[in-house]
Chain A
Amino acid sequence: MSFIDSSISHLGKVIKSGYIQWELSSKDGFFHGLDARVKMLFLIFFIIIISLKKEILSELIIVLFIFGLTAISRLNLFNFYKKVIPLGFIFGFLIALPSSFNVITKGEIILPVIHFSKSYDFWIYHIPETIGITRQGISGVFMLTLRVFNSIALSFLILYTTPFSEIIRALKVFKVPDAVLMIITLTYKYIFIFAKTVEDVYLAKKSRTAVKIDNNDARNWTAGRIVFMLKKTQQRCDDVFKAMLSRGFSDTIKLYGFRKMDSRDWTAGLFLFFAGVMFLWI
C-alpha cells in the first residue's frame, strides 16, 4: 500500500508545515511584531507591484529588498531560501525555459542550437531553419523567474511571521465578510483534525494487516475511508453547529477587534508604503 503511505506522508507534511509556520511566526523579529493589517496591506501592495514591473533590474532590486526584510525579521535565511529557490526555479525558470527558443519567442538568436537545411511549415506551426535561444526569449524567462521568485518569497515572508488567526482577521481590511472568514477559520481547523483522523485510521489498518494488499482492495479501502471521512465531517459539522447554538450563536458573526496600532506599526507601514511607491517608479 505504498501509495497510501505516500498519501499519509503528504498529510503528515501538511500538519507539520502548519505547525512549523505557527512556531516560526512566534519569534521576535522586525515583521513578527508588526500589526497583521500592515503586513497584509504590504503583501497585497507589493504582490501587485511585482506583477506590474516589466524590467529585470526592478525585479532584482525587489529581490534585495525582500532579502533585507527577511534578514531583519531574523528568519533562518538558509531554511527560508531553501524553500523559496526550488519553487521559483520550477515554477519560473523550468516551465518558461522552452519559450526562450525562437520557435516560441521570435527575436535575435544569441545561441543557435540546431540548424536545418530549410525551414518547415505545418498547420499553424513554423519551424525555422535555425533553432536557437533568442535575446528576447531568455530575457522573458529571467523576468518571469524573478517575478515568480519574488512573489513566493514575499508570501513566505508574511506566512512565516504571522500566525494564521492574525492573517485571517487582517483580511477584514479588504472587506472580506465575517462569515467567509469564519468558514476559512473552521475549515483550517477541520483540516488538521481530519488529517490526524486519517493518519490514525491508516495506522490502525496497517497494524492489523499482515499480508500484501492488491491495488483493487487498496482502492476500495481508500474510497471507503473517504466516505467515512465525509460521514465524520458531517457529524462534526452537526456537533459544531449545536455547540455554536449552545453558546448563543444567532447567525450574527462578530470577530474580535484589533489592538490599536502603535507608532512602530505606523512608522513601518509608512516606510513600506513609500518603498512600494518608489518601486513603482523605478
Chain B
Amino acid sequence: MHIPDGYLSPQTYVPLYGASFVFWTIALRKLKKEMDAKYVPYLAMAAAFSFLIQMFNIPIPGGTTGHAVGAGIIAILLGPWTAVIAVSVVLIIQAIIFGDGGITAIGANCFNMAVVMPFISYWIFKVIRGNSEKGMRLYIAAFLSGWLGLLIAALITAVEFGIQPMIAMSPDGRPLYAPYPLSVAVPAMALEHLLVFGIIEGVVTAMLLKYFFKHEPDLIYALHGGAR
C-alpha cells in the first residue's frame, strides 16, 4: 500500500500533506502535554516497535505467510494518537532511507496508513468489544479492527489513485499519473484487501492481542481507556 513517487498528481499529494500535517501537529501536542519530556523516547520506541511488527512474517492458516501494516494493533496497544506518530515516523524512514514509498507521497501514505487506519481500527475495536474484558468477543473485535482498518485505508488509497485520470489527463487522452479509473482501482484494491491482505492483518492483530492479553494485559491501552 506504499504509494511510490509518480502515481499522484500535485493536486492530490499537496492536500494530503496538509491533512497529515494537521494530525501530526495535534498528535505531537497531545502527547507532549500528557507525557512531558518523555514523549520523545516514547514515540521513538513506539515507532521502532511498529517497524519491527512489519518485519515479522507470520504463518496464516491455509499455508501462506504475511506481515501486518501494524497500525491497528499499535493503536490498540499504545493508543491511536501514538500510532499516528509511530507509523508516520516508520513511513518517513522507509521513504527517505530505504526508498520504500515515494517522497512526494509521504503525506498520502501517512494519511492512509498512519491516520485513517489507526483511528478506524481503534474505534472498531472499541465498538465491537463493548464492555467485554475477555473472551472470544475481544479477539473477534481485534480481527475485525485489523481487517476493516486495512480495508478502509485501502479503499481511500484506491480513491486517491482512481481520481487521477479525472483530474490529470493530457489533451489527447493520455493518463499523466495513476492510469486506472475509480471503476478499476476501487474493485481491485477492495477485493485483494477484503480477501487476502485484510485477513492477514486481522489474524495478526487478533493473534498479537491474544498473546498480549494472556501475558501482559496491563500493556493494552484500549482495554484501560488511557488518555493518549
Contacts and interface: CB of A to CB of B under 8 A. Distances in A.
B92 to A, nearest CB: 6
A190 B46 CA distance: 10
Interface stretch (A2-10, A27-35, A62-70, A264-272): A2-10
A151 B8 CA distance: 13
Interface string B37-75: 111111111111101110111110100010100000000
Nearest to A214: B59
Nearest to A197: B52
B201 to A, nearest CB: 15
A140 interface: yes
B192 to A, nearest CB: 13
Given A104-B180, A148-B6, A186 B97 contact: no
B174 A234 contact: no
B93 A191 contact: yes
A184 B176 CA distance: 33
Interface in A52-75: 52, 54
Given A7-B57, A52-B10, A183 B5 contact: no
B98 A17 contact: yes
Given A136-B173, A136-B174, A219-B207, A194 B99 contact: no
A127 interface: no
Interface in A136-194: 136-137, 139-141, 143-144, 147-148, 151-152, 155-156, 159, 164, 167, 177, 179-180, 182-188, 190-191, 194
Nearest to A184: B89
Contacts of B177: 144
B92 A184 contact: yes
Contacts of A152: 4-5, 99
Interface string B19-47: 00000100010001000111111111111
Interface stretch (B120-128, B147-155, B208-216): B208-216
A270 B114 CA distance: 37
Contacts, number: 221
Contact of A151 (B6, B9, B44): B6
B1 interface: no
A130 interface: no
A213 to B, nearest CB: 11
A241 B172 contact: no
Contact of B10 (A43, A51, A144, A219): A51
Interface residues of A, number: 85
Contacts of B44: 182-187, 190, 237, 240
B90 interface: yes
Interface in B91-138: 92-93, 96-99, 102-104
Given A51-B6, A159-B97, A226-B211, 7 more contacts: A47-B5, A151-B103, A155-B96, A185-B44, A190-B45, A233-B46, A233-B48
10 contacts: A6-B57, A51-B104, A125-B183, A155-B99, A179-B40, A183-B89, A184-B89, A187-B51, A190-B45, A223-B210
Interface of A: 3-4, 6-7, 10-11, 14, 17-18, 21, 43-44, 47-48, 50-52, 54, 87, 91-92, 96, 99, 104-107, 124-125, 136-137, 139-141, 143-144, 147-148, 151-152, 155-156, 159, 164, 167, 177, 179-180, 182-188, 190-191, 194-195, 198, 215, 218-220, 222-227, 229-231, 233-234, 236-237, 240-241, 244-245, 249-251, 253
